[in-house]
Amino acid sequence: MTGVQTESLEVFRTVARYGSITSAARALGYTQSAVSRQVAVLEAQAGARLFDRLPRGVVLTSEGACLLPHAEAVVDRLAAARAELAALRGLSGGQVRVSAFTTATAALVPRALASFRQAHPGVGVTLANGLTPALLDGLAAGDADLAVVSAPAAAGVHPIDPARFTVHHLLDEHLLIAVPGQHRLAGRATARLAEFAEDAFIVGSATAEDTLLRVSLPPGFRPRTDIVAPDWTAKLGLVAAGLGVALIPALAIRSAPADLALLRLDAEDAPVRQVLAATAAGRTVPAAATALITHLRHAAAGLELA
């Protein structure tokens, strides 16, 4: 019973069904001798006669009848495995695990997932949140198939080791500055950071170092960070109420709010951030993940135009 060939089980099943080695052989496209021998081998492995040889064919013995449901279960299970692999390959099944940094889950990832699920309804998707370093660690650990991460566009030190990860560029994200509707610069399309020296900045944490401001503070520029707000929604609410201005990554804006103005910050002040889709290098990328990258690209293109 060790080293069973699954074909032998299929042969066994067919012989049991036909009640004849010869006709089973015909049905399977084998020679009668081949089937006879395969049955004999299976019987030796089982340690018991599986068929009684009658003058007009064969019938299962009690041992054969005992084995038959198991053999059919095995054959069926293998067929199920084949089918599931085919589904995986054909993007009509399986699972893809995506992780993304929080801002990306505002608009970019949801839009990509929406079109992806429409295109491949059979593929399950799980979404995880986190900060870029944790996402990359999880990616390397195999916790996710695909990570949407951010990286500074600066050509210098790249936080993403190209030897460990394969990255797919999605978009270059610019930084916006949100000002109240009646702010003196509300009508402008772009602005420099230095123009907001007198404004109160609503930041995400108490220390300027932990906020977006840290990326490139002009020398001598020390913004007032009076108000701390935990998330983008709260920040926008505070800005709309006239309590100050706030730096907002463009991706965090789901749609243009009516009661405040968004100015694009000059690239000199805040270098654009890259948004990337990363996969683990050296690991086979699931077909679903590859497809999802395409949808992420399309979603990114749609967002950049807006």
Partner DNA sequence: GCGTGCCATGCGAGCCTCGCATGCCATCGA
Partner DNA sequence: TCGATGGCATGCGAGGCTCGCATGGCACGC
Nearer to its own copies, 78 or 119 (CB): 78
Min dist CB 38 to DNA, Å, is: 5
- Residue 56 interacts, among its own copies, DNA, none and using kind-specific CB cut-offs from 5 to 8 Å, with DNA
Residue 19 has what DSSP assignment?
A: T
Mention every residue, 6+ apart, whose C-beta is less than 8 A from residue 173.
150, 249, 250, 251, 272, 273, 274, 275
Does 161 bind DNA (CB under 7 A)? Our answer is no
* Dihedral sign, Cα of residue 178, residue 180, residue 183, residue 189: positive
User: Which 20-59 positions form the footprint of DNA (CB under 7 A)?
Assistant: 20-23, 29-34, 36-41, 53, 55-58
Q: Which amino acid is at 281?
A: A
All residues at 6 or more sequence positions from 126 whose CB lies less than 8 Å from its CB, including other chains: 95, 96, 97, 98
Residues 42 and 80 sit within 8 Å (Cβ to Cβ): no
Nearer to DNA, 142 or 218 (CB): 142
Calpha distance 304→306 (Å, rounded): 5
**Residue in 153, 118, 160, 157 with CA at minimum distance from that of residue 137:** 160
Judged by CB under 8 A, does residue 7 bind its own copies? yes
Q: Which of its own copies, DNA, none does residue 82 bind to, with CB < 5 to 8 Å depending on kind?
A: its own copies
How far apart (Å, rounded) are the C-alpha atoms in residues 268 and 270?
A: 6
Residues with Cβ < 8 Å from 187, sequence gap 6 or more? Answer: 261
Task: Supply the minimum distance, in Å, between the C-beta of residue 148 and DNA.
Answer: 24
Site for its own copies (CB under 8 A): which residue of 71, 91, 236, 299? 71
CB under 8 A: which stretch of 167-175, 249-257, 264-272, 282-290 binds its own copies?
282-290
- Binding partner selected for residue 162 from its own copies, DNA, none, CB under the kind-specific 5 to 8 Å limit: none
Q: How far is residue 286's CA from residue 94's CA, in Å, rounded to a whole number?
A: 10
Of residues 128, 77, 87, 125, the one with CA closest to residue 104:
128
Binder of residue 39, out of its own copies, DNA, none (CB less than 5 to 8 A by kind): DNA
Segment 141 to 200, residues that bind its own copies, using CB under 8 A: 142, 145
The stretch among 73-81, 185-193, 230-238, 297-305 that binds its own copies (CB under 8 A) is 73-81
Residue 203: strand, helix, or coil: strand
Contact string 31-70 vs its own copies (x = CB under 8 A): ---------------xxxx--xxx----x-xxx--xx--x
Q: Which residues bind DNA (CB under 7 A)?
A: 5, 7, 20-23, 29-34, 36-41, 53, 55-58, 163
Q: Which residues bind its own copies (CB under 8 A)?
A: 1-7, 46-49, 52-54, 59, 61-63, 66-67, 70-71, 73-74, 77-78, 80-82, 84-85, 88-89, 94-95, 142, 145, 282-284, 286, 288
